[in-house]
Structure formats: C-alpha cells, structure tokens
Amino acid sequence: MSVHILMYPYPTAGHIIPLLDLAHKLLHLPRPAAAAVAVTVVVTPENLHLLDPFLASSSSLQPLVLPSPEPPRRPTHRRGASSPPSAPSASSTSLLSRWFESHPSPPCAVVSDFFLGWTHRFARDRGVPRVVFSPSGAFALSVTFALWRDLPRSDEGSTVSFARLPNRPGFPWSHLPQVYRIYEAGDPEMERYREDAIGNIESWGIVVNSFDGLERAYLDHLRKDLGHDRVWAVGPILPAEGDSSAGPVNRGGPSSVSASEVLTWLDACPGGSVVYVCFGSRAVLNQRQMDELAAGLERSRVRFILCARQSSRGGHVAASDIGAVPEDFEAQVAGRGLVIRGWAPQVPILRHRAVGTFLTHCGWNSTLEGLSAGAVMLTWPMGAEQFVNAKLLVDELGVGIRVGEGLEKIPKAEELARVLAESLRGDLPQRVRAKEISGTAQDAINGGSSDKDLSDFMRCVDEQRKSKMHTF
C-alpha cells in the first residue's frame, strides 16, 4: 500500500512551483528509503499548466482541480493592498470533502501551504496529520509565528523587536508583512487570519524550504518553540541541473525572449560579468523605481539581464503607475543589456557561469536560487516577508548589499550604478561568502542534511499511517 499525500499549494506560481518540486523529490526518493509514494496536487484551472512537466515525468502524481478561490476583499480602513485569500469557497470545500471520502485510497497526510491554515482543521477532522509547507525560510516563519501569536502593535515610525528569537531581531513597523499591518486589533478579518496562523502552529509538522547550514539557529528555535522535532528542512528545493523532467526552463509563463535565446546571449559573456535583475513573479516597479533602475543600469556600464513585469498582481503598485521601461533604453544599452518582458528562466540564468550578481526583491524562492548559484545578492525588498529575508542576507549571512527598500528608499541612479559595478568584483567579501554558502547548499541536497530530513519526513509519515494514531 502506497503512502498517499495530498498537497495543497497556495494558488500562485511562486507557491505552487516549490511544492511541485517537493512532490518531484518525494516521488523519486530511493527505495527502501521510502515506501511507494503517490501524490495528489490540488490546483485551480488557470494553474493546471504548471503541472504538465511533472505529470509527464511520473504517473504517481495526479491533479485535483478545484475552482479558483474568491478574490480577497480590499480593506477600506487602511491604505494597502488586498490580503491573500486563505479559505476556499464553500463549493471547493465540499468538492474536496467528497473526493477525500470517496477515494479508494484516501491520503494519509495533507501537506499544505502556510497560507492555508484552515487545512489543519480539515485534516484533523479526517484523522490524518497536516504538515505545513513553508515556501519561506525558518527566520521568516519564526517572525510570522511570533507576530500572530503575540499580536504586537506599533506605529509607522517605531520598531518591533522579537526578543525570543535568535539574535533578537527588530524591524520597522513598515517592514512587517502587510497582511498583518493592514488590520486593526480585534478586526474580524484579522481574527480569521490569526486563527489560520494558530492552525499552522498547531499542525503536526512543518516542512521548510531551507537547509541546516543556512538557518540552523532558526530551525532549532522553531523546534523549541513548537515543542517537537517534526520540523524538516529539505531545501533548497530546486530542479537538479540537467533534469528536464521537472521542467527547469519553462516553469512559469510566457516570455518575450525564449530560454534558448537568453542562454545563448549569456554564452557570449565573460564569466561573472553579468548582473541579473528580477523582482519575482508578482512585484512590479512603479515609474519612479523603474526610471532610477534603468538609469543606474545604463550608467553602470555593466552587462545585465532585466526581467520587466508588465502587469501588477502583487498589489504594491497601482495599475496606473506600473513602471514602463524607458522607450530608448534598449537602444542605449544594446550589446550589453537584455530585457525580458514576462517570465524569465531564472534558475538556468543564475546557474550560468556568466552571472555574478543578482538584484532581487528577496522573495524566498529567488533568495534560495541566488544563494545556491553563489551570486552576490543586491537586496531591494518590496513587501511580504522580503524585508526579513534581506536582513538575513545582509546582516547574518554576509552575502548581500542593501540597494533599496520598497517605496521608502529608492536608490539614486548614480549610487545604484556604483554598487552594480562594485558587486561584480571577484574579491568582494560577499562573493567569497556566497560561494561558501553555495557549496553548503549543494552538500545539503547531495546526501547531506536536507536529504536526511526528507527521508525522515517520509519515514515519520509512513509510521503515522501504519500506527493509525489519530492524535493530530
């Protein structure tokens, strides 16, 4: 009898893809490290295409298509973006329940995104363990748990300190996740999010897309804080080099430049001479940010790839102020600059020998991809947990250089040009440290700590299945 796992990602590419990569790793665990594994992935119709390369590589992975969630309401009492939907519609819940109850071999565990705290109750009611999948790191997860459990409040100009966390970090109020800041204490919507966060804290276990050599202090903190050892660091969860079965090149959406064209362009560049600039799958620059960025790239004289989003889904920029690449920009940087509009093949780009620096919004997927490639990280966080990740990169790991902070600190073109050029130096301390961490990342997923945690996770799930102990 196989170990059947239901995986429920939050329905955006940045959350779906790492969970699919995790499924791919579980399905290809060596025997007898794991019993036979089957995975069902909940997916919405518009995201079904993301499963195509994974479905082609394994018959043990199947989709469960549910309707898209209702759009979140936009708070009116505070300025800010809409908050992420966490609860599904009643029809989706009913369909999921009927599927679960009628399946000839129902799942023995639910692995779901940390935005979906309600699935803890869903799994508990069916007598199976729920495991939180955190697409963020252990540092950000520790901050999130402390926020929603303790509910600290502050003013815009004040700092919130986390005295119980390692290194006692503190953050300006504006650097905390917006979904926490936009609600007043006691707001019913805030209480719903807190209930989901507590569901994450109370869940049976947590799988973190990180590795011991990167965040050991925060992983140990989570184990102590939660009162159990069921915290598995299994990252970096990335496709292996040369592994086409997981679709490492075509992983997101349409692009103005094919992956082969991008890699051919990079092939013509000297080693470590290119700055890659990308702000993730959701963040979009406003016009002022874009103008300074473009001017800085032009004046720096460095080779670069710029991934420019053309629509805003992340909520940080009003639709009327989406930053367009200046009309004459590409002509001015011809020969040393490549502009990609749409999805960029980020993992192959960062792994290419020509890329030495990554200017990033510090989303966790991008953070791990940059660290794994040994790139110097220029940080420009925009929201969510990105300010936490930037602090980790700059202050704790020593691989990052601060460039900007959302709309608050937009770098001037002259200073940005200087930092871009400086970041490509081969003897830069951040580069030396980045190469060290890259080696540690590779060790973790080549028989090291992350591989051991992944095998231990499957062993624990299988033991729970066999014991039929319904104490979750």
Tens place of pLDDT per residue across the chain (472 aa): 689 999 999 998 889 999 999 999 999 887 655 568 999 999 999 999 999 988 887 889 999 999 887 655 554 444 444 455 556 667 788 899 999 999 999 999 999 999 999 999 999 999 999 999 998 999 999 999 999 999 998 877 789 999 999 999 999 999 998 888 888 877 888 888 899 999 999 999 999 999 999 999 999 999 999 999 999 999 999 987 765 444 444 555 666 788 899 999 999 999 999 999 999 877 788 999 999 999 999 999 999 999 987 655 544 555 557 888 998 999 999 999 999 988 899 999 999 999 999 999 999 999 999 999 999 999 999 988 999 999 999 999 999 999 999 888 999 999 999 999 999 999 999 999 999 999 999 999 999 999 999 999 999 999 998 886 444 4
- 180 and 41 inside one domain: yes
What are the C-alpha distances in Å from 142 to residues 137, 139, 169, 212, 229?
9, 5, 11, 15, 15
- 452 and 435 inside one domain: no
- 413 and 266 inside one domain: yes
pLDDT, residue 251, reads: 58
- 18 and 161 inside one domain: yes
- 457 and 411 inside one domain: no
Residue 359 contacts residue 276 (beta carbons within 8 Å): yes
Residue 244 lies in a domain: no
pLDDT, residue 88, reads: 67
- 22 and 154 inside one domain: yes
Instruction: From the candidates 113, 196, 291, 451, give the one annotated as an active-site residue.
Output: 113
Residue 63 lies in a domain: yes
Distance of CA 79 to the CA centre of its chain: 25
**Residues 19, 209: Cα–Cα separation, whole Å:** 9
Ramachandran angles phi, psi of 61, nearest 5° = -110, 130
- 261 and 290 inside one domain: yes
**Residues 457, 455: Cα–Cα separation, whole Å:** 5
Domain containing 355: what range? 253-441
Q: b or e along 317-347 (b: 16 or more beta carbons within 10 Å of the residue's beta carbon)?
A: beeeebbebbeebeeebeebbbbbeebbbbb
- 29 and 146 inside one domain: yes
User: What is the amino acid identity at position 263?
Assistant: L
pLDDT, residue 78, reads: 47
User: What is the amino acid identity at position 470?
Assistant: H
Active site residue 221: no
Residue 42 lies in a domain: yes
Residue 115 lies in a domain: yes
Active site residue 267: no
Residue 407 lies in a domain: yes
Number of domains in the chain: 2
- 262 and 371 inside one domain: yes
Which two three-digit tokens encode residue 248? 């490492």
- CATH number of the domain encompassing residue 388: 3.40.50.2000
- 323 and 412 inside one domain: yes
DSSP state of 394: I
**Residues 156, 257: Cα–Cα separation, whole Å:** 41
Closest of 163, 123, 234 to residue 464, by C-alpha: 123
**Residues 423, 333: Cα–Cα separation, whole Å:** 19
Instruction: From the candidates 4, 15, 24, 352, give the one annotated as an active-site residue.
Output: 15
pLDDT, residue 1, reads: 64
**Residues 331, 287: Cα–Cα separation, whole Å:** 19
- 60 and 183 inside one domain: yes
- 297 and 363 inside one domain: yes
What are the C-alpha distances in Å from 350 to residues 178, 309, 340, 359, 388?
29, 18, 15, 11, 22
Closest of 434, 308, 325, 413 to residue 370, by C-alpha: 434
